[in-house]
Amino acid sequence: MTAALEHAQALIRLPSVTPEDGGCQDWLEEKLAPLGFHRQRVDMGGVTNSIFARPGERPGTLAFLGHTDVVPPGPAASWPHPPFAGVVEDDVLHGRGAQDMKGGIACWLAAIEEAVADGAPLPGLQVLITSDEEGESVDGAVRIVEVLAAEGHLPDAAIVGEPSSSKAVGDVIRRGRRGVVQVVAIIRGQQGHSAYPDDAVNAAHLAIPALHRALEIDWGEPAPGFPPTTCQITNIEAGTGAMNVIPGACRVTLDIRFNPALDFDGVETRLREAFAELPDAAVELDIQRQANAFVTPDGPFLDFVAAAIERQTGLVTRRDTGGGTSDARFLAARGVPVAELGLTNDTIHQVGERVRVAELETLTGIYKDIIQGFEAQP
């Protein structure tokens, strides 16, 4: 049994449904302290956050950003093995967090162990871990980054251990993500009897043309290399449940994923225009700016990561910007080059999450290559 597999099993066996850490970061401290790392706790709002730092023997600081929290496992009876047992069967590791992302943390830890054991000079290393990535992300990685910035300890670059790969480890890295705006729209009319529509104002009828306008918004040309901005209606609620009552209110939620050709103000302006034809008293908009878009431009760091992947696997990686958002945005907002590089992601958040054991070894090799070869760019 390899170190990466042992570490992944140990972490999976510490249940840590968001925002709980379940003792994972204390376990990491036990493993990292003998390797020269010092732990700085940045706990806030019931969230466990840690900065593990090791001084370098040569210039530059490379960070790894990860999270120990996982999504709920769902019905345990539906899993082929208990979700927090870390069972290996037919060279596959089963358990919540196997791919997202306790497996990735395990690989980075194993890579550090091997790199330190080799005895060659290493750059400064930071292991930045939160227990609030799968939840609100309010008191998690953002707080870690605030502390690093305030103390002047931001890294020169960072690997984020999200499961970025598609079919094989290293075939995809994410260098950016779209931003997120979420909207709660409440449209008000006048409840009444469906047989007497002249005495009522149907809130659902008011909402439909406004929603149609929202779906037809011209978001402009997307930034190069990014998917276009999308707007999805995710919930519609109206009525009392009775078949003969005209609804007096309609509540709708929208989820907008916007590319870097737009900013929060541009998204909000277009949304308000879509609802502007309704009387002010008839609509209430709560526009929530959840996450900004970010991108690490092509350059030395991404080239370096891609070269490490090719050396270890022979793959020419694809530099992608798809998917949702991630904690990488908090470092990117401070000007830190980031690359999301991790295991495959075909079972994340699913009942029966699992990863092939061979993937852990491949990713450990890539991570070790990156750790040993990293040099800060002038």
Active site residues: 69, 133
Reference 228, options 237, 220, 216, 238; nearest CA is 220
Q: Are 222 and 228 in contact, with CB atoms under 8 Å apart? A: yes
Classify 232 in phi/psi space as left (phi over 0), alpha (psi -120 to 50) or beta. beta
How long, in residues, is the chain? 378
The backbone torsions φ and ψ at residue 332, rounded to the nearest 5 degrees and listed phi first, read -60, -35
The residue type of 221 is E
Sheet with 88-89, edge to edge strand ranges: 88-89, 92-94, 354-356
Per the listing, tokens 């008839």 go with 282
Give CA–CA dist 272/267, Å, rounded: 9
Give CA–CA dist 15/6, Å, rounded: 16
CB within 8 Å of 335: residues ≥ 6 apart: 154
Radius of gyration of the chain (CA): 24
| Count of helix runs (H) and strand runs (E) in the chain | 9, 19
State in Å, rounded, how far the first CA of the chain is from the last one: 41
CA distance readout (Å), 30 to 24, 39, 44, 46, 52:
10, 10, 22, 22, 11
